[in-house]
A and B are shown apart, each in its own frame.
Chain A
Amino acid sequence: MATDASLKPCQMDRSSSFFKLIDTFSTEISELKQEMVQTAREPDTKLLQGLEGEVSGLFLQSSVCTGAAGVRDSGYDSLGRRISVLDRLTHTHPVWLLLPLNDEEAKRILQPQPPGTFLVRRSSKLQKKVISMRMDTDSSPVTVRDFPVTESQYTFSLEGSGISFADLFRLVAFCCISRDVLPFTLKLPGAISAAKTTTDLEEVAKLGIRFWDSKLCQKKKSSVPDGSAVQQGVKQAGQRRSLGDNLTPVPRTRTPSQLECSQSNGALCFINPLFLQTHRSEPASTEIVTSAASGDNCALSHSSSSSTQVKSHTRPQSILRRAISKEYARNNGVNRGESLSRSPPPRPPPPRTIPSRPAVPIKQKSMPETGVSWIKMPQEKTGLLGRLSSSFSSLTLSPSSLSLSSPIPMPSCHGSRASSIPDAEGQLCHLALEDQIIEQAVSQSLAKQALRNAALESRSPAEEGSPIGRERLSDISISTSSSDSLDYTPSFTLPAAASPSRADSSLEEEDDDGVGVESDQELSIEPPFKPKKRHSAGTFVLPRALKGHLRKVSGVFNSLMTPEKRAVKRIVEQSQNKSTYFGCLVQDYMSFMHENCSCHESGLELLQTVRQFMTQMKSYLLQSSELNPPIESLIPEDQIDQVLEKAMHKCILKPLKPVVEAALHNFQVSSGVWQQLKENLALAKTKQPQEMGVDGAMPPDPVAIEKIRQKFHNMSKMYSPEKKVSLLLRVCKLIYTIMEDNSGRMYGADDFLPMLTYVLAQCDMPELDTEIQYMMELLDPSLLHGEGGYYLTSAYGAMSLIKNFQEEQAARVLSSETHNTLHQWHRRRTAQRSTPSVDDFQNYLRVALQEPDSGCTAKTLQVRPYATTEEVCQLCAEKFKVHDPDNHALFLLTEESTQQLAPDTHPQKIKAELHSRPQIQAFYFIYRRIQNRSLTAPADEFNGNSVPV
Chain B
Amino acid sequence: MAIRELKVCLLGDTGVGKSSIVCRFVQDHFDHNISPTIGASFLTKTVSCGNELHKFLIWDTAGQERFHSLAPMYYRGSAAAVIVYDITKLDSFQTLKKWVKELKEHGPEDIVVAIAGNKNDLGDIREVPTKDAKEFAESIAAIFIETSARNAVNVEELFQSISRQIPPLENTDVDSNESFKITRQPLPSSRRCC
Q: Are A749 and B57 in contact (CB-based, < 8 A)? A: no
Given the contacts A733-B38, A748-B22, A749-B60, A797 and B70 also touching, CB distance less than 8 Å: yes
Chain B contacts of A831 at CB under 8 A? Answer: 188
- Of all chain A residues, the one with the shortest Cβ separation from B65 is A812
Given the contacts A732-B38, A785-B5, A830-B188, A808 and B76 also touching, CB distance less than 8 Å: no
Tell me, rounded to whole Å, the shortest Cβ–Cβ distance linking B152 to chain A: 15
Q: Are A826 and B192 in contact (CB-based, < 8 A)? A: yes
Greatest chain A CB density within 10 A among B65, B69, B186, B193 is at B69
Chain A contacts of B151 at CB under 8 A? Answer: none
Q: Are B41 and A830 in contact (CB-based, < 8 A)? A: no
Chain A contacts of B63 at CB under 8 A? Answer: 749-750
**Contact among A746, A748, A785 for B57, CB-based, below 8 A:** A785
Q: Are B60 and A785 in contact (CB-based, < 8 A)? A: no
Chain B CB within 8 A of A669 CB: no
Distance in angstroms between the alpha carbons of A729 and B36 in the assembled complex? 13
Chain B CB within 8 A of A693 CB: yes
Chain A contacts of B77 at CB under 8 A? Answer: 784-785, 829-830
Chain A contacts of B22 at CB under 8 A? Answer: 748
Chain B contacts of A797 at CB under 8 A? Answer: 67, 70, 73
Chain B contacts of A793 at CB under 8 A? Answer: 59, 70, 73-74
Chain B contacts of A581 at CB under 8 A? Answer: none
Tell me, rounded to whole Å, the shortest Cβ–Cβ distance linking B27 to chain A: 9
Given the contacts A813-B69, A830-B185, A832-B185, A747 and B39 also touching, CB distance less than 8 Å: yes
Stretch at the interface among B12-20, B46-54, B91-99: B12-20
Distance in angstroms between the alpha carbons of A819 and B20 in the assembled complex? 30
**Contact among A641, A753, A801, A819 for B177, CB-based, below 8 A:** A641
Distance in angstroms between the alpha carbons of A813 and B15 in the assembled complex? 22
Task: Tell me which residues from 786 to 805 in chain A have a Cβ below 8 Å from any Cβ of chain B.
Answer: 786-787, 790-791, 793-794, 796-797, 800-801
Task: Tell me which residues from 55 to 71 in chain B have a Cβ below 8 Å from any Cβ of chain A.
Answer: 57, 59-67, 69-70
| Chain B interface bracket (under 10, 10 to 19, 20 to 34, 35 or more) | 35 or more
Greatest chain B CB density within 10 A among A695, A796, A829 is at A829
Q: Are A787 and B62 in contact (CB-based, < 8 A)? A: no
Chain B contacts of A801 at CB under 8 A? Answer: 66-67, 70
Distance in angstroms between the alpha carbons of A831 and B185 in the assembled complex? 9
Chain A contacts of B15 at CB under 8 A? Answer: 750
**Contact among B37, B40, B41, B187 for A753, CB-based, below 8 A:** B41
Q: How does the 8 Å CB contact mask read for A294-334 relative to B, with 1 for contact and 0 for none? A: 00000000000000000000000000000000000000000
Distance in angstroms between the alpha carbons of A830 and B37 in the assembled complex? 25
- Of all chain B residues, the one with the shortest Cβ separation from A788 is B42
Q: Are B41 and A790 in contact (CB-based, < 8 A)? A: yes
Distance in angstroms between the alpha carbons of A625 and B59 in the assembled complex? 40
Q: How does the 8 Å CB contact mask read for B136-154 relative to A, with 1 for contact and 0 for none? A: 0000000000000000000
Tell me, rounded to whole Å, the shortest Cβ–Cβ distance linking A350 to chain B: 59
Chain A contacts of B188 at CB under 8 A? Answer: 827, 830-831, 918-919
Q: Are A826 and B187 in contact (CB-based, < 8 A)? A: no
Greatest chain A CB density within 10 A among B76, B180, B182, B186 is at B76
Q: How does the 8 Å CB contact mask read for B4-42 relative to A, with 1 for contact and 0 for none? A: 010100100011001110110000000000000111111
Chain B contacts of A924 at CB under 8 A? Answer: none
Chain B CB within 8 A of A932 CB: no
Distance in angstroms between the alpha carbons of A717 and B73 in the assembled complex? 27
Chain A CB within 8 A of B72 CB: yes
Task: Tell me which residues from 721 to 777 in chain A have a Cβ below 8 Å from any Cβ of chain B.
Answer: 729, 732-733, 736, 746-750, 752-754
Tell me, rounded to whole Å, the shortest Cβ–Cβ distance linking A558 to chain B: 18
Q: How does the 8 Å CB contact mask read for A821-839 relative to B, with 1 for contact and 0 for none? A: 0110111011110000000
Chain A contacts of B40 at CB under 8 A? Answer: 736, 746-748, 752
Distance in angstroms between the alpha carbons of A753 and B74 in the assembled complex? 12
**Contact among B37, B44, B187, B192 for A823, CB-based, below 8 A:** B192
Chain B contacts of A823 at CB under 8 A? Answer: 192-194
Q: Are B64 and A754 in contact (CB-based, < 8 A)? A: yes
Tell me, rounded to whole Å, the shortest Cβ–Cβ distance linking A490 to chain B: 38
Tell me, rounded to whole Å, the shortest Cβ–Cβ distance linking B89 to chain A: 14
Tell me, rounded to whole Å, the shortest Cβ–Cβ distance linking A383 to chain B: 51
Task: Tell me which residues from 148 to 194 in chain B have a Cβ below 8 Å from any Cβ of chain A.
Answer: 176-177, 180-182, 185-188, 192-194
Q: Are A825 and B73 in contact (CB-based, < 8 A)? A: yes
Tell me, rounded to whole Å, the shortest Cβ–Cβ distance linking B172 to chain A: 12
Q: Are B39 and A752 in contact (CB-based, < 8 A)? A: yes
- Of all chain B residues, the one with the shortest Cβ separation from A808 is B66
Distance in angstroms between the alpha carbons of A830 and B7 in the assembled complex? 14
Tell me, rounded to whole Å, the shortest Cβ–Cβ distance linking B120 to chain A: 19
Q: Are B76 and A829 in contact (CB-based, < 8 A)? A: yes
Q: Are B37 and A787 in contact (CB-based, < 8 A)? A: yes
Q: Are B14 and A750 in contact (CB-based, < 8 A)? A: yes
Q: Are B38 and A787 in contact (CB-based, < 8 A)? A: yes
Chain B contacts of A750 at CB under 8 A? Answer: 14-15, 18-19, 60, 62-64
Given the contacts A746-B23, A749-B62, A918-B188, A796 and B41 also touching, CB distance less than 8 Å: no
Tell me, rounded to whole Å, the shortest Cβ–Cβ distance linking A833 to chain B: 11
Greatest chain A CB density within 10 A among B5, B74, B193 is at B74
Chain A contacts of B76 at CB under 8 A? Answer: 826, 829-830
Chain A contacts of B42 at CB under 8 A? Answer: 787, 790-791
Given the contacts A733-B38, A787-B37, A793-B73, A638 and B66 also touching, CB distance less than 8 Å: no
- Of all chain B residues, the one with the shortest Cβ separation from A918 is B188
- Of all chain B residues, the one with the shortest Cβ separation from A735 is B39
Distance in angstroms between the alpha carbons of A750 and B61 in the assembled complex? 7
Q: How does the 8 Å CB contact mask read for A406-434 relative to B, with 1 for contact and 0 for none? A: 00000000000000000000000000000
Tell me, rounded to whole Å, the shortest Cβ–Cβ distance linking B52 to chain A: 16
Chain A contacts of B7 at CB under 8 A? Answer: 785
Given the contacts A823-B194, A827-B188, A919-B188, A782 and B73 also touching, CB distance less than 8 Å: no
Distance in angstroms between the alpha carbons of A846 and B112 in the assembled complex? 44
Distance in angstroms between the alpha carbons of A750 and B21 in the assembled complex? 13
Chain A contacts of B193 at CB under 8 A? Answer: 823
Distance in angstroms between the alpha carbons of A747 and B40 in the assembled complex? 6
Given the contacts A790-B59, A830-B186, A822 and B38 also touching, CB distance less than 8 Å: no
- Of all chain A residues, the one with the shortest Cβ separation from B5 is A785
Chain B CB within 8 A of A704 CB: no
Distance in angstroms between the alpha carbons of A323 and B76 in the assembled complex? 63
Distance in angstroms between the alpha carbons of A797 and B177 in the assembled complex? 31
Q: Are A826 and B194 in contact (CB-based, < 8 A)? A: yes
Q: How does the 8 Å CB contact mask read for A662-691 relative to B, with 1 for contact and 0 for none? A: 000000000000000000000000000000
Distance in angstroms between the alpha carbons of A540 and B185 in the assembled complex? 38
Distance in angstroms between the alpha carbons of A563 and B91 in the assembled complex? 57
- Of all chain A residues, the one with the shortest Cβ separation from B14 is A750
Given the contacts A638-B176, A693-B64, A830-B188, A749 and B73 also touching, CB distance less than 8 Å: no
Q: Are B73 and A748 in contact (CB-based, < 8 A)? A: no
- Of all chain B residues, the one with the shortest Cβ separation from A812 is B66
Tell me, rounded to whole Å, the shortest Cβ–Cβ distance linking A919 to chain B: 7
Chain B contacts of A826 at CB under 8 A? Answer: 72-73, 76, 192, 194
Q: Are A748 and B72 in contact (CB-based, < 8 A)? A: no
Distance in angstroms between the alpha carbons of A827 and B186 in the assembled complex? 10
Distance in angstroms between the alpha carbons of A812 and B66 in the assembled complex? 6
Greatest chain B CB density within 10 A among A127, A790, A826 is at A790
Tell me, rounded to whole Å, the shortest Cβ–Cβ distance linking B22 to chain A: 7
Q: Are A822 and B73 in contact (CB-based, < 8 A)? A: yes
Can you list 5 residue pairs at the A/B interface with Cβ under 8 Å?
A736-B40, A748-B20, A753-B67, A814-B70, A830-B76
Q: Give the top 9 A-B pairs by smallest Cβ distance, nearest first.
A: A748-B19, A749-B60, A797-B70, A753-B62, A736-B39, A790-B42, A733-B38, A746-B40, A749-B41
Interface residues of B (CB under 8 A from A): 5, 7, 10, 14-15, 18-20, 22-23, 37-42, 44, 57, 59-67, 69-70, 72-74, 76-77, 176-177, 180-182, 185-188, 192-194
Taking A750-B15, A750-B19 as known contacts, 18 extra A-B pairs with beta carbons closer than 8 A to each other, sorted by chain A number, are A638-B176, A693-B66, A746-B39, A747-B40, A747-B41, A748-B22, A749-B19, A750-B14, A750-B63, A752-B41, A790-B42, A793-B73, A796-B73, A801-B67, A808-B66, A829-B185, A830-B186, A832-B187
